[in-house]
Structure 1
Amino acid sequence: MNGPDFAHYKILKRLGAGGMGEVYLAEDTKLNRKVALKFLPFGQSVGPEIKKRFLQEAQAAAALNHPNIVTIYEVGEFDGRSYISMEYVEGRSLKDVIVTEGLSMGQLLDFAVQVAEGLAKAHQACIVHCDIKSDNILINPDGRVKILDFGLAQLKGASGFDPGTSAGTPGYMSPEQIEGRELDLRTDIFSFGVVLYEMATSRLPFTGAHPVAVVYSILNEKPAPLSGFRPDIKSGFQAVVDRALAKNREERFGSAAELVAALRDCQKERVEPVKEKKERKSVAVLYFENLSQEADSDYFCAGMTEDIITDLSKIGNIRVASRNAVLPYKDKPIDVLELGKNLALDAILQGSFRKSNNRIRISAQLIDAHEGFNLWAERYDRELTEVFVLQEEIAKSIAAALKIKLSDQDEEKMALKYKNNLEAYDLYLKGRNYFYKYTKKDLLIAILMFEKALKIDPLYALAYAGLADSHVQMIDRYYETDKGILKKAEEAAQKALAIDPLCAEAYKSLGLIYYKEWRFRKAKEQFLKALELKPSFAAARSNLASTYIYLGDFERAEREYLAAYEEDPSLAFVLWLLARLYLSLNRFPEAENCLQRVVQSADQSSYMEIGYYLLSRTCFYQGEFEKALQYLQKYVEAEPDEPFGDSALASLYAALGQREKARAKIADTLKSAPWDEDIIENLILAHFFLGEKEKLYDWIHKGMAENKIAWIFLERNPLLESLRGEPEYQELLRDLKGKTLGEMP
C-alpha cells in the first residue's frame, strides 16, 4: 500500500494476514465508523471471470443479515486491488479461546448454538461457507459469536487464486471436499462437527503426522469418544457430534436448523438436577400441626419447625429440604410417597405441637419416603424452658433413625445455638413470623419484635441479623426510599457479628446490604463467608450467584444457581433466577426450559405468574412479539395494575407498532414511582421501538443515577443491537460497566 489512505478509508493498523489476504483496521471516513478492510490476494494472472465470480459471491454474502455473521459493508476494487469492507469485531478467535482457556459445557453450547444459527441463516440463502474452522469464528467481549469469510472460501481453489489447493482447511475438510465431489450445505455441518469436537476436547478429531495421514483419518477413522477427554459430556452431545461427523453426508443433519434444535436439546439437558450422592440422606421437616388452644401460638409452632430444620442442616450427611420447599404443604393433607418423589426425599418428619401455659407437647414421627412405613416415633412432654434442648434432641433422633453417626464437627455446630432467654426467643420467633409476610405493616412489626427481643437480651446475634434483614426489605420493596435505612441495617449486621463471628445469617445480611449499595466485591466476600459457615444456606448461595452476574462472572453465577437448585430441586425461585441469567446471556432455549418448569410448579402460583412474565421477555428478545404478548397477558391477568406488567406491555405494543397503546401504558407506568430495574429496562425498550431516542437515553441516565440498570442489559440485549455503534451509547455503557465493576461511587 502506498500510504495511510485507501479510497474513502483511513488505514489505522494491520490486524493480520492469511490465505484469504491481509486485513487492516480502518476508519470509513464517509460513515465515521471503524471497519475491517480485507485485501484479496489476487495476482496479475487472475482473469476477469475469477474477479467477477468473487464479486458475485461476496455480494451474495453481503446480503446476509444475522447477528452471528460478520456483516459485509462494501465489496469493490480500487487502484487495481480487490477489497472487502466488513464489520470490525473486537475479540478473539474461537481457536485462541480454546487453546488459552478451554470452554465449560455452558460456554461450549452457547457458542455452538450461535454458530449453528449463523450457518442456518446462510444456508437459507443457499450460501455454503466451505471453510468452517475455529480460526474463522470470532468471540467478542460480550460472548457474541461472529462467523468470518462467507462468500470467500469457495474461491480459494479457483485457478490463479491459490494454486494447488482446494477450498477448505486440512483437518476440517469433509470427505466430499477431499474427494473433489460437488459440495452442499452438509459440508459445513461436517466441518462444524470438527469444531464441536475441538471445543469439547481442545484437539481435532482427525490427526496425522502429515497431510496425507490427516486425509486418511478423515476418510477412514472414527474419532475417540468425547467422554475420554472430559467427564461432563452427556450422551446427547456425543450423539450430535457423531452425527455431524458422519462420513456419509446422507447420515448427517439435513440442515443447520436441525442441528440448532439438537444443540438446544443439549442445553436443556444440562438444567436437569444432578442426582444426590447416596451417602447423604435427604429429609423434609413438615410444619407441625398446631393443636394448641392458645390463639396466637402458630408463630411458635412454625418457629419450632424451622429451628429443627436449622439444626438438621448442621449435620453434614443430611440434606434438608428448605423452609421454602415445605411451606406450600403447611396445613394441607399430603401423600407421603408422592411428596418423597417430588422432593427426592429419603424420609419425612411429621408431627403435632401443643402449647399450654408453660408446657409443650410434641408428637413426632419419621416416615420412610420410599415405602411409607415409620422409621421412628416419639412423644415429648416438656417444660417450655426446655425448648432449646428439645429441638436438638429431635434432630439427633432423626439422624440416629437414619443410621447417621454425628461427627465431632456436627456436634459442635449443633451446640452453637441460642439458649439464653426464652422471652427474647419468643419475641424473635414473632419477629421472624411477621418478617416472612413481607408487607410494609408486617415488616414494621417485625422490626419492633426484634428490637424488643434485643432490649431483653442485647447479646442476641440472630435478632440483630433479623433486624438488618427487615431494614433491607423495606428498601428492596420500596416501602422506604431513604438509603440511610441501609446504614441502620449495616450497623445491626455488624453488631450481630461482634457478638457472634460465626453467625452466617449476619454475613448474608451484610452481603445484601453491600449488594443494594452496588458494592459487589464486598457483597461477594460476605456471601462466601456465610456459605463457608452454612453450606446449605440457599438464600446466601442465590444472592452470591446474582452478585457474580454484576461482576461479569457468568459461569460462576450459573454454577451457584445450579448448586442451589441441586441442593433443593423444589426451589422454583432459583430456577427463575437461573432463567434470568440465561435470558441476559441470550441463551433462550435454556431460559425457556427453566421457565416452563417454573410455571408447572404445583402450589407455587406466585412463581407461576413471574414465570409467565419472563417467558414473555424470552419470546420478545427473539422477535416473537405476538407469542410474547400471549404470555404477558397471563401475567397481567394474575397481577392487574402492576407497573411490571404496564411497562412490559408498553414495550411490546411499541414493538408491534401499536403506538397509542404503548404511550398509554407508559403513562400508566409513570404513575407508579419508584421504578425498579425491570421497569426502567422495559421503558428503554418502549422508547427504542417508538423511535424516541432522547427519552431512551434519559431513562438510561436515570437508571445509572439510581443504580437501577445493569450493564449486561445494555451490552447484550439483542433488541438494542443497532444502538451499540453509537458513540453516546458506547460511552454510557463504558461508564456503567466501570461504575459496576470498579465499584465507583
Structure 2
Amino acid sequence: YLAEDTRLGRKLALKLLPAQFTQDADRVKRFEQEARAASALNHPNILTIYEIGRHEGSHYIATEYVEGETLRRLLEAGNLSLSDALELTIQAASALQAAHQAGIVHRDIKPENIMRRPDGYVKLLDFGLAKLTQVEADTKDLNDEAVTQSLLLTQPGLVMGTIAYMSPEQARGQRVDQRTDLFSLGVVLYEMVCGKRPFNGATHSDVIAALLREEPRRISQHLPNAPVELEQVLTKLLAKDREARYATAQELIADLKRIKARLDVAQDDVSTQTLKRSSTEQMSFETNVGGQDVFATNVTKAAAATAANAPAMPTAPTASVTKAPPVVRPKTFAMAVGAVLLLVAGLFGSFFYINRQQTIDTIAVLPFYSSDNKLAPLSEGLTEEVINAVSDLPDLSVIARNSVAKYKAQDTDPVTVGEQLNVQAVMTGEVSQLGAETIVQIELTDAKTRRRIWGKSFNRKLNALYELQSEIVSGLAQKLNLKLNEATSQQIAQQKTQNGEAYRLYLEGRAYYNQGTAEALHKADELFEKAFGLDNTYAAAAAGCAACHAYGADQEPPEKVMPKARTVAQVALKGDPNSADAHLTLARVALRYDWDFKEAERLIKRAIELEPKNAATHQRFAEFLALMGRHQEASTAIYQARKLDPRSLPINADIGTLSYFAADYDHATEHFQQALKLDEDYADAHTGLGLTYEQQKRFAEAVNEFLEARKLLREDAAYVTGLQNAFAKQGTQGFWKQELAHLQDEAKERYIPATTFAALHTRLGDVEAAFKSLQLALKEKDGGLIDLNVTPVFSALRKDARFSALLEQIGLKR
C-alpha cells in the first residue's frame, strides 16, 4: 500500500504480511531480527526500511516509497539494451556487496525484487522477506529426486519465481551464503541478456531438475556476437559448485564494469541493440502451471522433457567460448508481421528511453582542487559560489556544499560519487595560477558511464575574476539545455562586484567562514572587511562580516558584538534587499539578543522565501522551532533540510540535537550515530552523543565521547589528559570540576558565555552558583539563555521559582 507518514510528512510503502507467514512465533522473530539487520544497511541501492511492527494483530513493514518499475516489467516491455542489463546488474551487485559485508544474505533475488527508478537508479527490495518463505528442511543427504519431491510436497504454494531463481544449494535445502545470491543474480542477468531463464521446464519439478542437472545454453545462441567476457562471467555465476563461483560481489562488479566500459566506448550494435524475448521460445509453464497436479511430476520425467538440443554453456571454470550461429525457424506471415511491429515498438521505446536518460537533472559540484596551497581558500570559496548559483537554475537539483565537502582533495571516481550522492552527473574543477592569470578547468562527467559531458578552461586576470562564476553557470545551463527565463538569465549575469580583488578576498573569506572555529571566523571577518573596503557596494561581503560578528568571531560579550552584527547586516540589506544571509543574521540577533521571537521567525521565513533550496536556511528554522518547544514543526523543517542536503554532517547531527531537546534520547542516539557513520571524525556529533549518554546515565560512554570531541577539535593535549585522569579518579564529578577550573582560567583571556558555567554548576549540584551565573547571563544578554527551556541539563533547576521568573524575563514560557 502507498501510505503517508503523518509525523514526518513523507510517502512510504506499507507491506502487510499474510497471516500464513506469521503463525509461527519463532519464524516471525527470526524475520524481525533479519529485517532490523537489513534496516541498518545504508546503501543507495538498498530499499530503506523505516519501521517494522504489529498493529491489531497484523505484522507490517514500512519502507521507503520508490517510484519506478520492477525489472520484471522492464523485461516484459522489452526495451533494455545490453548496456542497460550490465548497469542494472552492477547496481544490484553493489547492493549485495553491502549486505554481504554486513553478514546478510538476501535469498530471494529475482526481477520482482529489483526496481529501477525513472532516473536510472536501481533499488533492491524485500530484504528479510525471503526468510519467511524459505524452506528449511534438513535435506542435506537426500538425492536430487528426493530433494525435489520434498521441496514441492511440503510447499504446494511456493512462488514460481523463487524456484526459477534459486541456487542448487537452496533447492537441496543446504546452507546458503553470499554465493547463493550471486547465482540468483546470474539467473537474472542471463534472463535480461537472452530473453529467457537459463533453467526451464514445463512444470516446477522440470525447472528444478534442469537447475540441478543441466547446463544452460550459451548466450550467443540468443545474442549473436555477445562479448566472450560476458559468457565467461555467466559461466562463473551459474556454476553449480559454489566454490567455482565469484567469492564476492565486488569481484563480479569489477568484471562487469570492465565489460561495460568497453561496450560504452565501442557504442556498437551489440551494446545498443534492444534485448527482448524470443517470440518462439516462451516458457510454457508460465501460463500452464496453476493446479495441484504439477507437484506430482517426477524428476526423471522432467529431465526427459527438458529441451536440451542446443549446445550448453561450458562448466566453470572453462573460459573458451565458441560462437554458435543463430537458429532460424520458419515463420508464418502473422508471426512476421508481429515481429516487425514488436521491432518498431522496441525502436520507439528505446529511442524515448535513451533520450530520457540523457536528461541531466541532478548534479554534484565537488570541491575544486588546487595543487597550490595558497589557492586553496580561493578554490573552496569559488566552489561554494558555483553551487549556490547552480542551485538557482530551473529543473536542476544540486547537492549542497556540506554533502560534497568530504570529497575535498580526493581523486574521486565519478561513478562512486554518483552512487553515494544519487546524482546523474559530477562537476569537478581545478584552479591554478599562471603569471597574472587564474585558470579554472571545469569538467562535467556522467556519473554512470564516466563519459565527459562538458569541459572548458576559463582564464581570467585578477581584475576580471568576478566573471568566472556567471560564465561557468551559463556554460553549464547551455550544455544541459536548461530553459532559462529572463529573470534567471539576469540573475546569472548579475555581478555582485566588479572588483576582482574584492571578489578574491570574499571567496577566501567564505572558505574560512565555513570552517566554523572562532579563529577561522576571525580570519573570515578580516577578509570580508577588506573586500568591503575595496567595494562599499559589495553587499555579500557586508553580510559575511555581519554573520562573523553574530557567530562569535570577536569572542566578546553579546552586548558588544550583537549591535555591531545588526548594523552591518542592515548595511548589507541596503545594498541587496534580497540577501538571505543578512536576513539570517538579523534573525539571530532578534532571537538571541533582542528576544523578539516573532521578528526572528519572520526573518527566517523571509530567508527561506529568498533561497528555498538552501538547506542551511531550513536548518536554522528547525533550530528556532525546537527552541520554541514546537518540536513537531521542527521535525518537519529539519527533514526538509536533509532532503535538500542528505549527507550534510551538521544537518544529520542536528536531527539528533532536536531529538535531544525533545528528550527523545533513543532517537537522538540513533541520529548522532548515523551522522558518525557519514564521518566518524565529526566532533559535534561526538559531543551530541555524549550529552545524550549523560541523560541516559551512561556516564562512562558520555565522557568517552566528550574526550573524543576534544581530541578532534585539537584541544591542548595536557588539558584532555587532565580531564581523562580526573574522571578515572573521581568519576563524572571529577571530570566536570576539571572542566570548570579550565574554563575559569580561559575566561581570563576570552569571553565564555555565563550559561556555560551555569550548566557546569548544575551538573555539580551547586544550585546557588548556577543561578548566580544565570543572573550574569541575563545581564550580558547571553544568547544561550534561549536554550534553557529545552536543554535537559537544566532540568534540576526547573522546579525552582527563580527559573520560571528568569524565563518570563526573556519572554519564554515553561
| Length-normalised TM-score, structure 1 | 0.57
Contact 2:614 2:644 in 1 (8 A): no
Within 1, Cα distance between the matches of 2:623 and 2:445? 37
Query: In the TM superposition, what are the counterparts of 1:321-720 in structure 2 within 5 Å?
Result: 321-382=399-460, 385-438=463-516, 442-474=520-552, 479-481=555-557, 483-517=559-593, 518-602=595-679, 605=681, 607=682, 609-638=683-712, 640=715, 659=733, 663-673=737-747, 674-676=751-753, 679-680=756-757, 682-688=759-765, 692-705=766-779, 706-707=781-782, 709=784, 713-714=788-789, 717=792, 720=795
Q: Say if 2:804 is the partner of 1:733.
A: yes
Within 1, Cα distance between the matches of 2:467 and 2:614? 23
Deviation at 1:106, TM superposition (A): 3.7
Query: In the TM superposition, what are the counterparts of 1:76-225 in structure 2 within 5 Å?
Result: 105-106=6-7
Contact 2:506 2:528 in 1 (8 A): yes
Deviation at 1:440, TM superposition (A): 5.2
Within 2, Cα distance between the matches of 1:519 and 1:645? 39
Q: Is the partner of 1:354 in helix, strand or coil?
A: strand
Within 1, Cα distance between the matches of 2:771 and 2:643? 41
Q: 1:369 to 1:666 in 2, by over 3 A?
A: same
Q: 1:699 to 1:251 in 2, by over 3 A?
A: farther
Cα deviation, 1:616-664, whole Å, max 9, x if unaligned, reads 222221233344344444335545569998999999999x976556544
Q: 1:352 to 1:393 in 2, by over 3 A?
A: same
AA partner of residue 645 (structure 2) = D
Contact 1:349 1:367 in 2 (8 A): yes
Q: 1:273 to 1:523 in 2, by over 3 A?
A: farther
Within 2, Cα distance between the matches of 1:442 and 1:548? 28
Cα deviation, 1:143-199, whole Å, max 9, x if unaligned, reads xxxxxxxxxxxxxxxxxxxxxxxxxxxxxxxxxxxxxxxxxxxxxxxxxxxxxxxxx
AA partner of residue 707 (structure 1) = D
Within 1, Cα distance between the matches of 2:685 and 2:66? 23
Q: Is the partner of 1:376 in helix, strand or coil?
A: strand
Structure 2 residue aligned with 1:225: none
Contact 2:693 2:702 in 1 (8 A): yes
Q: Is the partner of 1:524 in helix, strand or coil?
A: helix
Q: 1:499 to 1:643 in 2, by over 3 A?
A: farther
Within 2, Cα distance between the matches of 1:267 and 1:740? 39
Deviation at 1:586, TM superposition (A): 1.6
Root mean square deviation of aligned Cα:
4.5
AA partner of residue 584 (structure 2) = K
Deviation at 1:683, TM superposition (A): 1.8
Cα deviation, 1:112-160, whole Å, max 9, x if unaligned, reads xxxxxxxxxxxxxxxxxxxxxxxxxxxxxxxxxxxxxxxxxxxxxxxxx
Contact 2:753 2:782 in 1 (8 A): no
Contact 1:106 1:267 in 2 (8 A): no
AA partner of residue 474 (structure 2) = K
Within 2, Cα distance between the matches of 1:540 and 1:438? 16
Q: Is the partner of 1:600 in helix, strand or coil?
A: helix
Structure 2 residue aligned with 1:235: 14
AA partner of residue 739 (structure 1) = I
Q: 1:431 to 1:649 in 2, by over 3 A?
A: same
Q: Is the partner of 2:678 in helix, strand or coil?
A: coil
Within 2, Cα distance between the matches of 1:700 and 1:287? 43
Q: 1:597 to 1:523 in 2, by over 3 A?
A: same
Contact 2:566 2:589 in 1 (8 A): yes
Of 514-523 and 675-684, the range deviating more from structure 2: 675-684
AA partner of residue 430 (structure 2) = S
Q: Which has the higher contact order (CA 8 A, sep 6+)?
A: 2
Within 2, Cα distance between the matches of 1:666 and 1:394? 51
Within 2, Cα distance between the matches of 1:274 and 1:739? 47
Contact 2:368 2:383 in 1 (8 A): yes
Cα deviation, 1:335-357, whole Å, max 9, x if unaligned, reads 22112222222211113233334
AA partner of residue 570 (structure 1) = R
Aligned length: 495
Structure 2 residue aligned with 1:223: none
Contact 1:520 1:550 in 2 (8 A): no
> Tell me, which stretches of 5 or more residues in structure 1 are unaligned?
1-102, 108-229
Contact 1:465 1:506 in 2 (8 A): yes
Structure 2 residue aligned with 1:97: none
Structure 2 residue aligned with 1:23: none
Within 1, Cα distance between the matches of 2:813 and 2:504? 44
Of 571-580 and 324-333, the range deviating more from structure 2: 324-333
Q: 1:643 to 1:404 in 2, by over 3 A?
A: farther
Q: 1:733 to 1:280 in 2, by over 3 A?
A: farther
Q: 1:525 to 1:288 in 2, by over 3 A?
A: same
Of 309-318 and 443-452, the range deviating more from structure 2: 443-452
| Length-normalised TM-score, structure 2 | 0.52
Q: Is the partner of 1:479 in helix, strand or coil?
A: coil
Cα deviation, 1:301-348, whole Å, max 9, x if unaligned, reads 433333222221111322222333333322221122112222222211
Contact 2:659 2:665 in 1 (8 A): yes
Contact 2:737 2:764 in 1 (8 A): no
